Every structure is written in C-alpha cells, then in structure tokens.
Structure 1
Amino acid sequence: MFNTSLGIDDLIFLAQGAGMTILVTAIAVAIGTVLGIAFGIFRYQAGPVLAAPVTFVLDLFRSIPLLIQLVLANAFIGTVLRLKMSGFTVACAVLSLYTAAYCAEIVRGGIQAVPSNTRRAARSLGMSWFQDMTHIVLPLATRIALPSWIGLALGVMKDSALVYVVQVTELLKSTQILITRLQEPLFLLLICGAFYFIISFPIARFGGYLEKRWSND
C-alpha cells in the first residue's frame, strides 16, 4: 500500500508555486510579445544594416543561457546600479526580454512569408504602409507565426523554473522544498509534472484549435 506524508497544505503550497509560474509566464509572454512585434517589424522594415544593433542585442538574449542572464541581471541591478528590485521584478524583466528576442524572429519570419504580390496589390489599391501592415500583413503573418508563438509561450513557461536563482518560489522550487522536507522525490516530481501538464495542455489545444480554424477559412 502506498503511503505519503503529503498533506492538503503541501498541495496548496504547490498550487501557489504553480500560480507564480503562471503569473511570471503571463507577464513575460505579454510584454515579450508586444516588444517582439515591434522589434520584428523594425528588423523587417529597416533591413539588415540599419537593424544591425537591434539584431546584435536580440542575438545576445537568444545565445546566452537564461540562467546566466538571470544571475547577471540580478547582480548588475543590485551591485552596480545599487537598486532595490525584487526577484519577481528581475525575473519578469529578464524573461520578457528573452521572450522578445525569440518573438522578434518569429514575427520577422512571418512577415517575410507573406507573398510580395499580396503586398503590392494592397499598395496598388491606395493603402498606406500602416493600413497594409494592419489589414493585410499582420493578419496573414499571425496565421503563419502562431504555431511557433505557441511553442515559444510553452517554452517560456518551462524556462520560468530557472527564476529560483533570483529568489522566486515557482512550481519547481516549491517541489524541491517539499522534496527536502518529505523525502518523496519521485511522487512529488510526478505531481509537479501533472501541474505543468495541466497548465500547458489547454494552451497547446487552444493554439491547435485556432490553427485548424484559420486553415479552414
């Protein structure tokens, strides 16, 4: 017979950690997506030469492991700038920029995938650049980029487990705390995985639903 020391309070503690994971992910994905759209459009419109500085910075965020970014950002803000910033704020800021770096590439690729003939037809009808982008390019690019964006959102959710280094107690950190106290690693990791599945599955299914619906339009 299976026995466990896990109690209701422990499950509530894990749920609170899951809530923190959802909150950090939601903030990072929301801010990162807005910044990513802006950076992606700029990179596409400015061309490789003028956009080189922005491209270089985005490449840094994509190339350096997230764990190192979190540690360096926390140390820089506290030691060099001497600012008192909570670990939660640092985590959201770094994850947002990390998300924006990947999202910008997704947006740029989506815009480039829109047929040039479609854009020329829109401009020949007298549409301005802004009208062309908002009514033609971005709706088509969204359909193309959606699967990659869903994958990015799910990846950020899992990468948020690294924010423990800036003293943010998210789902995995909560699990590690309980493992240390209860000494039931396999069972607790199984529950942790179930929490991640519960969070991820609706997002993945909703993305699949939108993709299927748009492909039938």
Structure 2
Amino acid sequence: MFDTALTSTDLIFLAKGAGMTLLVTAISVVIGTILGIIFGVIRYQIGPIWAAPLTFVLDICRSIPLLIQLVLLNAFFGMVVGLRWPGLTVACIVLSLYTSAYCAEIVRGGIEAVPATTRRAARSLGMTWGQDMRQIVLPLATRVALPSWIGLALGVMKDSALVYVVQVTELLKSTQILITRLQEPLFLLLICGAFYFIISYPLARFGGYLEKRWSND
C-alpha cells in the first residue's frame, strides 16, 4: 500500500505555487503581447534597415538564456542602480521582454502573410493606414499568428519555473521545497506535473477551439 507524508497543507502550498506561476505568466504574457504587437508592427512598417536597432535588442532577448537574463537584471538593479526590487517585479520584467521578442516575430510574420492585393484593395476603398490595420490586417494576421502565440504562452508558463533564481516561489520551487522535506521526489514531481497540466490544458484547448471556429468561417 502506498504511503505518503504529504498533507492537505502541503497541497495548499503547491496550489499557492501554481497561483504564483499563473500570476507571473499572465502578467508577462499580457505585457509581452502588447509590446510584441507594437514592435512587430514597427518592424514591418519601417523596414529591416531602419528597424535594425530594435531587431538587435530583440535578438539579444531571444539569444541569451532566460536564466542568465534573470540573474543579470537582478544583479543590475541591486549592484549598479542600488535598488532592491522584489523578485516578482524582476521576473515579470524579464519574462515580458522575453515574450515581446518572440511575439514581435509572430506578429511580423502574421502581417506579412496578409496578401498585398487585399491591402491595396482596402486602400483603394479610401481606408486610412489605421483603418487598414485595424479592420483588415490585424484580424487576418491574428488567424495566422494565433497557433504560434498559444505555443509562446505555454512556453512562457513553463519557463516561469526559472524565476526561482530571483527568490520567487512558484510551482516548481514549491515542489523542490517539499521534496527536500518529505524525500518523495517521484510522487511530488508527478503532482507538480499534474498542476502544470491543469493550468495549461484550458489555454491549449481554447486555442484549438478558436482555430477550428475560424477555419469554418
């Protein structure tokens, strides 16, 4: 018979860690998506040459491992600026920039997927650039970009496990604390995986629902 020292209090502790994972993910994805849309439109609109400085910064965010970015930014605020920002703030800043760097490419690719003839037709009807973007380009680009954005959001949720380095007790860190105390690694990691599945499955299914609905329109 299987016996465990895990208590209801420990499960509540894990649930709080899952809540922190959701909080970090939600803040980072929302801010990162807004910035990514802005950066993606800018990169597409002004062209690769004028957008080179922005592209360089975004490439840095994509190329440097997330763990190193967290450590460096935390050290920068503490040692250079002289501020001791909360770990949650540092984590959200880094993950938001990380998300925006990938989202910008998704947005740019989605806009480029809109046929040029469609945009010319919109302009020939007297639409301004803003009307063209709002009513024609972004709705069509969203259909193209949504699957990649869903994958990005799920990836950010899993990558949020690295924020333990800035003293944020999210789901995986909570699991590690219990493993150290209870010495039941396999069982606790199984529960941790179940928590990740529970919080990520609805997003994946919602994305699938939207794709199916839009494909039938």
Same fold (TM over 0.5): yes
Task: Kindly indicate whether residue 114 of structure 2 is the aligned counterpart of residue 120 of structure 1.
Answer: no
Task: Tell me the residue number matched to 1:149.
Answer: 149
1:123 aligned partner, one-letter code: R
CA distance in 2, matches of 1:212, 1:133: 24
Query: 5 Å matches for 1:98-137?
Result: 98-137=98-137
CA distance in 2, matches of 1:216, 1:73: 45
Structure 1 residue 84: Cα displacement: 2.2
Off by >2 Å, runs of 4+ in structure 1 = none
> Please, which runs of 5 or more residues in structure 1 have no aligned partner?
none
Partner of 1:159, secondary structure, is: helix
Query: 5 Å matches for 1:1-217?
Result: 1-217=1-217
1:20 aligned partner, one-letter code: M
Structure 1 residue 165: Cα displacement: 0.1
Structure 1 residue 83: Cα displacement: 1.2
Deviations 1:69-97 (A, max 9, x none): 00000000110011121000000000000
> Please, which runs of 5 or more residues in structure 2 have no aligned partner?
none
CA distance in 2, matches of 1:11, 1:84: 31
Deviations 1:35-79 (A, max 9, x none): 000000000001001000000000000000000000000000110
The aligned length equals 217
CA distance in 2, matches of 1:57, 1:212: 35
Could you tell me the TM-score, scaled by structure 1's length? 1.00
CA distance in 2, matches of 1:59, 1:185: 37
CA distance in 1, matches of 2:112, 2:215: 19
Structure 1 residue 171: Cα displacement: 0.1
CA distance in 2, matches of 1:48, 1:143: 24
Question: RMSD value over aligned CA atoms?
Answer: 0.3
